Structure 1
Amino acid sequence: MTRLVSLLAVVLIVAAAVGLYRFKGESQQLARQIAELRAEIDDEREMISVLRAEWNYLDQPSRIQELADRYLDLNRLDVEQISMVEHLPMRPLDIDPSGANTTIGGFAGGDDRTVQ
């Protein structure tokens, strides 16, 4: 009976040692994965900071103005081109919502020109 209990104790101790060894290996593997992920996160953060610095350089108004002057054929705005909203003509009234192709008279501004 003592031999059976001793044998059972030895088997349990060996099983516990094997289980502990496996858990140790798994925990070491997980620790390596965590370290790799942290390194990747650090690399990504560094890349983000580099990209932000590059974006700040590319987004400078003076640089954009220089590129616009160099590559776009734009003319400067003359003073005569500046107007007020009140000087713009009013939109025509949509009196016939049915969509029939009829001639409608009158503008929203009171003009009696015909709108088609």
Structure 2
Amino acid sequence: MTRIIGLLAILLVVAAAVGLYRFKDEARDQARHIERLRAAIAAERDTIAVLRAELNYLDQPARIQQLAERYLDLQRLDVQQISVIEALPMRPIDLGPGVEGPLGGFAGGENRVVQ
């Protein structure tokens, strides 16, 4: 009887050692995985910093002005082109579906008709 108990105790110690070794190995693998993830995060942060610096360079107003002058055929705004909001026509009121014919009822209350 004592031999069986001794044998079971030895088997239990061996099983505990094997289990402990497996847990230790798995914990080491998880630690390596975490370190790889941390390195990947650091690399991504570095990439983001480089991209932000590049965007700041590309967004410089002086650089954009220089590119616009070189590649776009833009002309300066003439004083006669500037107007006031009151010179724009009023927006027509939506009379809803099923209304046929010219739209009436401008928002300004005038009797103009949109064709």
Name the residue aligned to 1:40.
40
Instruction: Tell me whether 1:13 sits opposite 2:13 in the alignment.
Output: yes
Name the residue aligned to 1:29.
29
Q: TM-score, normalised by structure 1?
A: 0.81
| Counterparts in 2 of 1:92 and 1:36: CA distance versus 1, 3 Å | closer
Q: What is the letter of the counterpart of residue 58 of structure 2? A: L
Deviations 1:1-47 (CA, angstroms, capped at 9, x unpaired)? 22111111111111111111111111111111011000000000100
Question: What is the distance in 2 between the residues matched to 1:90 and 1:55?
Answer: 41
**Runs of 5+ in structure 1 lacking a partner?**
none
**Runs of 5+ in structure 2 lacking a partner?**
none
Deviations 1:42-61 (CA, angstroms, capped at 9, x unpaired)? 00010010011011111111
Question: What is the distance in 1 between the residues matched to 2:58 and 2:10?
Answer: 71
Q: TM-score, normalised by structure 2?
A: 0.82
Aligned 8 A contact 2:102 2:114 in 1: no
Percent identical pairs in the alignment equals 61
Matched position secondary structure for 1:77 = coil
